[in-house]
Amino acid sequence: MNESLKQNPDRSEISIGIIVAEYNSFITSKLLDATKKTLISNHVRSENILELEVSGSFEIPVIASKLAKSKKFDAIICLGAVIKGDTDHYEYVSLAVTQGIGRVAIDNDIPVIFGVLTTHNVEQALDRVGGKKGNEGEDYAIAALKAIDSMSQIN
């Protein structure tokens, strides 16, 4: 995906907030590593990346809202993993997180990247953090940078 990113060598002033859920950390930590590595390799300064941990994915939207309202960030990347189990919990959490993150983006005119994996099993999640499908964290970082580039053309 890097090939299609607009090459802007000076991203030194870009600020990114990353919210990462601790629940399923064996997945989310890999998403986080790839996201940060990709941002830094695309000239975002590490000191301009704020990383915040929350207990689970359900808590992501409220922290994203707080970050957005601070007006200190050019984009927010939300990382989590909701893996289907034997109860309906998966559906409720997935829906609430999806709607919450979307609402934060629209209400605050800021790119809020949905980096919450919603998978049917652990194997599918592992495939998306370095397995068969690569690491989605890279895609989330690129999506944030593309959105920032697009926003800069409007403002």
Which residues are part of the catalytic machinery? 89
Instruction: Tell me how far CA of residue 64 lies from CA of 11, 23, 33, 135, in angstroms.
Output: 22, 17, 19, 22
- For 30-54, b/e burial (b = at least 16 CB within 10 A) is bbbebbbebbeebebeeebbeeeeb
Strands (E), 5-149: 16-21, 49-54, 75-83, 112-119, 129-131, 134-135
